Amino acid sequence: MASDDKLIHVEVVYALPSAQRVIKLAITSDTKVQAIIEQSGVLEMYPDIDLKKNKVGVYSRNVKLDATVRDGDRLEIYRPLLADPKEIRRKRAEQAKKAAEVNNTNLTK
């Protein structure tokens, strides 16, 4: 093993609503994100993961599958969103506005 093939330690994380899977690996520093995920075995554990669709990141920052990571990094596989956060906030704001209008109407009576 050459000196640039020094092993680094990373974690691959996949979170579900009911559980979180954390897999620790020792890899060479030039190993690409996709290879790390494949080596972790998480794709066999969760066949619903599709690296063409699921985004991946390191500490909440999106990365590409051909990126490399650093020692101690946490590689995260993200599940698709069930609802658009912007749409949820818009609906909440509309509900708050309606509630305020109802309260103002009741106060003026």
How do the pLDDT tens digits run along the chain, 109 residues long?
454 568 999 999 999 888 899 999 999 999 999 999 999 999 999 999 999 999 999 999 999 999 999 999 999 999 877 667 787 888 888 888 888 777 776 666 5
Q: pTM (2 decimals)?
A: 0.70
Type of residue found at 87:
E
**Alpha-carbon distance 39 to 8, whole Å?**
14
The two structure tokens encoding residue 106: 């009741």
The two structure tokens encoding residue 62: 């999106």
**Alpha-carbon distance 37 to 67, whole Å?**
12
> Checking DSSP bridges between strand 20-28 and strand 56-58, what pairing results, if any?
unpaired
**Alpha-carbon distance 74 to 62, whole Å?**
12
